[in-house]
Structure 1
Amino acid sequence: MIIDIIAGARPNFMKIAPIIDAIKQKKNDGYDINYRLIHTGQHYDKKMSGDFFDQLGIPAPDANLDAGGGSQAEQTAAIMVRFEQELLLHRPNLVIVVGDVTSTMACAITAQKLHVKVAHVEAGIRSDDWTMPEEINRLVTDSITNYFFTTSEVANNNLRNSGIGDERIFFVGNTMIDTLLKNKANFICPSIWQEANLSDRNYFVLTLHRPANVDQEHQLKELMAKIIENSRGLPVIFPVHPRTAKNLQGLGIEAPNLFFIEPLSYLEFNYLVQRAKMVVTDSGGITEETTVMGIPCITLRNNTERPETVTIGTNELIGTDPRAIKPAFEKLFNGNWKNGNIPPLWDGNTAVRIVDHLCELNAAGNL
């Protein structure tokens, strides 16, 4: 059995690393299983992709499609054209796509058009917000996927409600958490720790990149003003996403306790998250990591595709209205933040379960 594993953007690398490890272990146990790693090149900045290969022990890709840059349509087209060429040269039994980035959708479509089966890791999650490119990617990918590996019962029900039979749904957990738990002991203290004189539970970590928060000057300035105003002078560490950096230029946002820094590597970023007083974000994946690490988190969005981080974990969904920031910070400072728990099967063994299921499907002649 030969499996193509697709990765192209920062969130993907956290999700594929444990799958590769689990395949290697299965092969060592005597199973006929091999993989090819296909890097689409969707993210081409070293901090956005390159560091993951070094820090997470991901082997060099078997193919790099170099499809970075351009609009989403241009990226999608480039990935599809180049992945089609790759499939014609090296046809696998299965293509694994992960998450919800452009590469996920583009490679799923390309594989199916060449009659290669597709498995989607992190299938079934939904925000119901069609203004998000990721939601379109999820819907399209899940509409043409053969096998669905899910992170929660909510995702299972989303798939069932769309007509997917239980025989194709595998509730396995969260591979991002596999990577997090494996690497906790290897987190790296970034230079900002000394530069800002940080200490445990005495600073905030901020990330923003969603268009609703960063594309409108007034909204971005108001959010930043409320975060600074309510931080009570504690350091606010803001690793700035390239998209956000462009929009911040010329706005004159500054404060003595606000630290704009370059994007951090995975191990450096999670060192900060693990020791933060709270994380303020509009990212979905970060809310999963804060939930497992027990760190308070507020999400500046009106919806989330990861509701278990709110219903079970440490995350609170407060919307994009800057006025919602003050009561959330007051709740934290007053010691009233919920404790949170870890969702079922977020235990570090998700990738092993995925590969076990794939071997069972192959043995049954379904791959």
Structure 2
Amino acid sequence: MKVVSVVGARPQFVKAGIVSRKLRDKGVKEILVHTGQHYDFNMSNVFFRELRIPNPDYYLGIGSGMHGEQTGKMLIEMEKVLVEEKPDIALVYGDTNSTLAGALAASKLHIPVAHVEAGLRSYNRKMPEEINRVLTDHISEILFAPTDVAVENLKKEGITKGVYKVGDVMFDVALEVAGKVNEKKVLNKYGLKPEKFILVTIHRAENTVEETFLQIWKALNKLAKLGIKLFFPVHPRTKKLIEKLELVPESKNLTLTEPVSYFEMVALEKNAKVIITDSGGVQKEGFFFGTPCVIPREETEWIELVDFGFNHLAGVNTEKIFELCEGLFFGGIEIQKNLPKFYGDGSASDKIVSIISGDDFE
């Protein structure tokens, strides 16, 4: 059996790290394609090194661009790879332009598509990620859903065939990496102490425009002036906006840095008191490590975490972000304990590999 796996962005590197390794251990011939969607070293190469992801067989080098332009370039190059390799399955991850391009190219060549993290929905069609995940699910033949909610979302859209609830691959990776990270070394490197800081990640397109980002920026500065340390590894897209607006932290408690590696991110997520993030992956990782997230969005794909009361939607509202973070940081808002196992038992990657390779699963 031959599988072409398509990656291109941070969350995909994380998931592919463990799945690729297990596919190859199983004797499946895997061709790994890196689209080049994330081309900054700390957003790409370092993940391959830390997570022991095999070197890509193809690096497409697409880089940044408008959504249509980027996806179109990927489609052209992915088609060439698939025609050359003639795989039995195209394996795609998540909801990026790389996901959709890989799925579309394979589907048009009548190559079965397998989608890891199928069934997620924000029900906000203004998000490019929502369009990517909906279209990918509807052209996939094998759908690896992480949760019961994801399975139900697919069922609502008439997708029941080829759906497997396997749990979340990111939970598998988080468990594996958490045992390897030198947390003390990471915290010392950045001058941080356990549960004495807020971790910040902002990268989504809708949050990296002037009007919305300034609402978030004001909340960060307000929290910093309250005496709370905030550590903000800045995504390249966000960095461009900060530089364009000539923004400077109003307190030394707000620290902006370059993107961090995955191992460092795990250490920071585990040791932060609160996380402010618009990233779906970070929302889950925070949950894995018992760290609540304040989400500057109107919706989330991981609605079970909000319904349970662990994570909190703040919208892009300065006062709401501030009030939630202040309450969680100082104890005014209770942080939920005894967390349910929403995302499986850490064996999602094994189940995915078993299904792809034709073994029995259940």
Q: Aligned partners of 2:344, 2:314: CA distance in 1, in Å?
A: 24
**Alignment match of 1:291 (pick from 244, 269, 287):** 287
Q: Aligned partners of 2:282, 2:248: CA distance in 1, in Å?
A: 27
Q: Per-residue displacement from partner, 1:204-252 (whole Å, max 9, x unpaired)?
A: 1111122333312x54333222233235312110101111111112133
Secondary structure at the residue paired with 1:176? helix
RMSD: 2.0
Aligned match of 1:20: 20
Go from structure 1 to structure 2 and tell me whether the alpha carbon gap of 1:112 and 1:222 turns closer, same or farther (over 3 Å shift).
closer
Aligned match of 1:206: 200
Aligned match of 1:358: 356
Secondary structure at the residue paired with 1:360? coil
Go from structure 1 to structure 2 and tell me whether the alpha carbon gap of 1:119 and 1:215 turns closer, same or farther (over 3 Å shift).
same
Do structure 1's residue 302 and structure 2's residue 298 form an aligned pair? yes
The 8 Å contact of residues 102 and 137 in structure 1, kept in 2 or not, is answered as: yes
- Give the alignment of 1:1-367 within 5 angstroms: 1-27=1-27, 33-165=28-160, 167-188=161-182, 193-194=187-188, 197-216=191-210, 218-231=211-224, 232-249=226-243, 250-312=246-308, 314-332=310-328, 333-340=330-337, 341-360=339-358
- Deviation of the 1:310 alpha carbon: 1.9
Go from structure 1 to structure 2 and tell me whether the alpha carbon gap of 1:323 and 1:55 turns closer, same or farther (over 3 Å shift).
same
Residue identity matched to 1:235: K
Aligned match of 1:30: none
Residue identity matched to 1:273: E
- Deviation of the 1:77 alpha carbon: 1.3
Q: Per-residue displacement from partner, 1:241-269 (whole Å, max 9, x unpaired)?
A: 11111111213333121101001011112
Q: Aligned partners of 1:139, 1:115: CA distance in 2, in Å?
A: 19
Runs (4 or more) in structure 1 with deviation over 4 Å come to 188-192
The 8 Å contact of residues 142 and 163 in structure 2, kept in 1 or not, is answered as: yes
The 8 Å contact of residues 186 and 264 in structure 2, kept in 1 or not, is answered as: no
Q: Does 83-92 or 191-200 show the bigger shift?
A: 191-200
Q: Aligned partners of 2:270, 2:141: CA distance in 1, in Å?
A: 37
The 8 Å contact of residues 292 and 342 in structure 1, kept in 2 or not, is answered as: no
- Deviation of the 1:176 alpha carbon: 1.2
- Deviation of the 1:331 alpha carbon: 2.5
Secondary structure at the residue paired with 1:137? helix
- Deviation of the 1:185 alpha carbon: 2.0
Go from structure 1 to structure 2 and tell me whether the alpha carbon gap of 1:258 and 1:230 turns closer, same or farther (over 3 Å shift).
closer
Q: Does 299-308 or 244-253 show the bigger shift?
A: 244-253
Q: Aligned partners of 1:48, 1:312: CA distance in 2, in Å?
A: 31
Secondary structure at the residue paired with 2:199? strand
Q: Aligned partners of 2:344, 2:181: CA distance in 1, in Å?
A: 19
Q: Aligned partners of 1:131, 1:309: CA distance in 2, in Å?
A: 22
Residue identity matched to 2:165: F
Q: Per-residue displacement from partner, 1:6-45 (whole Å, max 9, x unpaired)?
A: 1111110111111112213323xxxxx2211111111111
Residue identity matched to 1:237: F
**TM-score w.r.t. structure 1 length?**
0.91
The 8 Å contact of residues 294 and 313 in structure 2, kept in 1 or not, is answered as: yes
Listed as ranges, the gaps of 5+ residues in structure 2 are none
Go from structure 1 to structure 2 and tell me whether the alpha carbon gap of 1:190 and 1:130 turns closer, same or farther (over 3 Å shift).
farther
Residue identity matched to 2:10: R
Residue identity matched to 1:302: E
Q: Aligned partners of 2:57, 2:212: CA distance in 1, in Å?
A: 43
The 8 Å contact of residues 292 and 313 in structure 1, kept in 2 or not, is answered as: no
Residue identity matched to 1:122: E
Secondary structure at the residue paired with 2:203? coil
Secondary structure at the residue paired with 1:68? coil
Secondary structure at the residue paired with 2:358? helix
- Deviation of the 1:349 alpha carbon: 0.9
Q: Aligned partners of 1:296, 1:144: CA distance in 2, in Å?
A: 35
The 8 Å contact of residues 182 and 348 in structure 1, kept in 2 or not, is answered as: no
- Deviation of the 1:175 alpha carbon: 0.7
- Deviation of the 1:187 alpha carbon: 2.2
- Deviation of the 1:195 alpha carbon: 6.1
- Deviation of the 1:302 alpha carbon: 0.2
Number of aligned residues: 356
Q: Per-residue displacement from partner, 1:301-341 (whole Å, max 9, x unpaired)?
A: 00001112223473111211112123313421125323251
Q: Aligned partners of 1:305, 1:92: CA distance in 2, in Å?
A: 31
